[in-house]
Amino acid sequence: MGEIVRLGIQQLMELDRDEHIGVGSYERGDDRRSHRNGYKSRQLYTRVGTLVLRVPQTRDGEFLPYWNVTSAVRKLLCWLLQRLISREYRPVK
């Protein structure tokens, strides 16, 4: 369960960085606002255990994944991911 949550969070951060930069990995374009600049390792403590995340960075240093905004957002996203994974989530009709 923890690995699935970690992979989901990791993918969301990657997509968030692509949006910040303006182009995807290995893409060129006039919309590029920065460049990828590796990762930094961070731990996230959740109900499913401690997750070791690779937080993406950009060369301009202005990228901050939405995941780092507030603990309330983290708790909400963990709750949603857990419900989706366990299929307890039922969409509102």
Identify the band that residue 87 occupies on the pLDDT scale cut at 50, 70 and 90.
low
The residues spanned by each domain of the chain are: 2-86
The model's pLDDT over 32-52, given as tens digits with 9 standing for 90+, comes to 888 888 999 988 888 788 889
The model's pLDDT over 23-37, given as tens digits with 9 standing for 90+, comes to 888 888 888 888 888
Report long-range pairs for 74-79 (Cβ below 8 Å, ≥24 apart).
Answer: 74/44, 74/46, 77/9, 78/5, 78/46, 78/47, 78/48
**Exposed e or buried b per residue across 52-76, where buried means at least 16 C-beta atoms within 10 angstroms of its C-beta:** ebebbbbeeeebebebeeeeeebee
Q: What percent of the chain has pLDDT over 70?
A: 81
